[in-house]
Structure 1
């Protein structure tokens, strides 16, 4: 669980690329929105369906894929007088996507703002102060995007 099958990864160079591997898990429509809603506390199929308006069959498929990839874990629950159902909870891997969701929120606010204002804000969970994402060096210095370089890693087959 949490690993891509070799057949899913495509070519060797695609398998080496973190972005290709990540998008194979969360790149389909609805997947990141499910994660967003899970970060907001939704756990039940009906909550995701009502919040997203996604067709039930597609929602079920996306939830199953996120469970298989180790982003969500499925837990059984039963309400009195009802059949057993499943709830969906973020794993450590799923919680790690908070940075991705936050980056998309920040990017959307900055470059594609909605005229009616933001639909969500990022705040410190303890004191509710606004927070933002940034590139930060190991010594704690914040860098702008133009000060960061993406360089070949050990699995790269080409130099840039």
Structure 2
């Protein structure tokens, strides 16, 4: 499968990766969640070329992850803000951060900590069942074909499940 074809795959992960699946896009999203909004701030913090940054921001706007909001009229200047769709990426970003904290941190530990505003405690993300609230892991999940699957396509269930 070619990279350009990911967006047409009958797989939510493939379609998501078609929009978000490169390092610069994920770093831009990280910075958005840290409160960065302006082009020059992204450029300075990331050390990314203007061309690549403009391309990634444009794609995120086109897919409704970010919106451009004016902050100055003369001359017109805009900043980038997370949309509801963008804010919905927070659990995914936090899961990646948590994985990095567990598997990529050095002896000093996590470089950034996250504190829950309501209770004041440091947190780590946990995936829970939306119905019963119990924590779930990969071993607790069973996959089945959903309504978005086309009958003429190879079923994802015909692929052997990963053993773990």
The TM-score normalised by the length of structure 1 is 0.82
Which of these residues, 79, 99, 111, is aligned with residue 87 of structure 1?
Answer: 79
Distance 1:65 1:103, change over 3 A: same
SS at match of 1:74: strand
Report matched runs for 1:1-150 at 5 Å: 10=5, 14-78=8-72, 83-137=75-129, 138-150=131-143
Report how many aligned residue pairs link the two structures.
Answer: 150
Contact 1:9/1:21, CA 8 A, preserved across alignment: no
CA distance in 2, matches of 1:155, 1:109: 35
SS at match of 1:36: helix
Which of structures 1 and 2 has the larger relative contact order (alpha carbons within 8 angstroms, sep 6+)? 1
CA distance in 2, matches of 1:19, 1:140: 24
CA distance in 1, matches of 2:133, 2:58: 39
Contact 1:134/1:144, CA 8 A, preserved across alignment: no
Shift of 1:72: 0.2
CA distance in 2, matches of 1:43, 1:26: 18
Shift of 1:131: 2.0
CA distance in 2, matches of 1:34, 1:57: 14
SS at match of 2:71: strand
CA distance in 2, matches of 1:43, 1:11: 28
CA distance in 2, matches of 1:62, 1:132: 28
When the two chains are superposed, the root-mean-square deviation of aligned CA atoms in Å is: 2.3
Structure 1 residue ranges without an equivalent (≥5): 1-7
